[in-house]
Amino acid sequence: MAYPRKSLICLEDTPYYHVVARCVRRAWLWGYDDYAAKDYSHRKAWVLQRLHQLAEIFSIDLCAYAIMSNHYHLVVRVDRQRMARLTHAEVATRWSQLFSTPPLIQRWQDGRVNTAERFAAEKLIECWRLRLIDVSWYMRCLNEHLARRANAEDGCTGRFWEGRFKSQALLDESGLLTAMAYVDLNPVRAGIAAVPEESLFTSIYARLQRFGRESAVRPQNRRLIKGHLHGHASPPLLGFSESADSRQPSIPMKFLDYLELLDWTGRHRADNPGAMKLPPMLTRVRIEPEAWLQVMRPNGNRFGRAIGRLERLQSHARRLGQSWVRGLQVARKLQQA
């Protein structure tokens, strides 16, 4: 059953969301297509380029991403406070980078409007301000651009995406951690990469490259910092809580703790756990290890419109006027630690 977007996106509950978009008929339009004997892997870089551009326009931060051969995952954070601080002129400038500027706004920018026209122009700009923190508009500007570019390259018309994007509200730190790890481990889960540091076109891969360049790496972590980005610049990523500027929004966990959890999970996925001890992150957020590994397996994300602890899922459902939300049983198993 499809739900209206207003029942999926609720900024009063959380600014964090996991979104997924798939190619039509799940065709491999981002990778090597065996049927057509064509390689479309270069299109994955288009996604990075567009995400980089949208990061400078929307007030939506990118926490994690994974670009696969027939779909992609994003974990995003909506920053309403940052958008509220922008002036009318700054909002209009951002919007004009995506869409043509109406004559009314051009006259407003030139100072050639009367009082009524100024009111109408500023009302329109306020509408744009809301759209620049709207996940649906963000995904529209991403997917429509990619579809037009791919269709132009193929010399065809028609739908590129199978339908509207899927979204999950991430209601607490447990939900955010689950979604980010699930996204970053996509290539490992699909058997494309053996370990997270080999997972090209993922946020963990990009972060490892940046971490390796900017930090003094402890000897026990050097294995996780190998590789290169093959010339594809990663879009800006929201930092973790150890950021020097505590006033800036950040992911509420430390990067090395998150990295250790990914490495532990990836090794279990590859049936090579070794003698690694349980990551402290699981204990801190009170997640049951075996249930966690089940969620990280193929099709293991059994949550529906939201991910989080049991009580947060129930509260989220009540706020939206729903009597039930999918994922209650999974949430109950995850918090049996």
pLDDT at 228: 35
Largest CA-CA distance found in the chain, in angstroms, rounded: 73
| DSSP secondary structure code for residue 246 in this structure | T
67 token code pair? 């670009």
Distance CA 143, CA 161 (A): 8
Q: Which residue has the higher pLDDT, 115 or 322?
A: 115
| pLDDT digits 0-9 by tens, 5-51 | 666 788 888 999 999 999 987 677 778 777 777 888 889 999 999 99
pLDDT in tens, 263-282: 899 887 655 555 567 898 99
At 135 the pLDDT is 96
User: Poorest-confidence range of 134-148, 186-200, 217-231?
Assistant: 217-231
Q: What is the pLDDT of residue 275?
A: 53
Fold observed for domain 5-79+133-334: Alpha-Beta Plaits (3.30.70)
Does the pLDDT of residue 176 top 50, yes or no?
A: yes
Task: Report pLDDT for 248.
Answer: 73
> Would you state the structure tokens that stand for residue 201, as one six-digit string?
């076109």
Q: Are 266 and 196 in contact (CB under 8 A)?
A: yes
Q: 182 near 25, Cβ under 8 Å? A: no
Residue 312's nearest CA partner among 292, 291, 337, 285 is 285
Q: For all residues of the chain together, what is the average pLDDT?
A: 86
Note the pLDDT of residue 52: 95
Q: What is the pTM of this model?
A: 0.89
Instruction: Please list the alpha-helical segments (H only) found in 114-237.
Output: 115-131, 135-154, 173-184, 186-189, 203-214
Q: What is the 3-state secondary structure (H, E, C) of 174-200?
A: HHHHHHHHHHHCHHHHCCCCCCHHHCC
- Is the per-residue pLDDT at 169 higher than 80? yes
Provide the pLDDT for residue 227. Answer: 36
Q: Specify the pLDDT at position 215.
A: 46
CA distance readout (Å), 311 to 20, 307, 327, 332: 25, 11, 12, 9
Q: What pLDDT sits at residue 217?
A: 40
Question: What is d(CA 50, CA 142) in angstroms, rounded to the nearest whole number?
Answer: 7
Within the chain, all domains assigned CATH 3.30.70.1290 are found at 5-79+133-334
Q: How far is 276 from 185, CA to CA, in rounded Å?
A: 18
Answer whether residue 225 shows pLDDT above 70.
Answer: no
Q: Is residue 311 very low, low, confident or very high in pLDDT (cuts 50, 70, 90)?
A: very high
Would you state the pLDDT for residue 130?
Answer: 97
Model confidence over 69-114: pLDDT tens digits?
A: 999 999 999 999 999 999 999 999 999 999 999 999 999 999 999 9
Using CA atoms, how far residue 92 sits from 57, 61, 117, 190, in Å, is 10, 20, 15, 42
Confidence band for 229, pLDDT divided at 50, 70 and 90: very low
- Residue with the larger pLDDT of the pair 76 and 326: 76
Candidate ranges 171-180, 190-199, 243-252; pick with highest mean pLDDT: 171-180
Answer for the pair 199, 51: CB distance below 8 angstroms, yes or no: no
| Residues 199-222: tens digit of each pLDDT | 889 999 999 888 764 443 444 444
At residue 180, the pLDDT reads 97
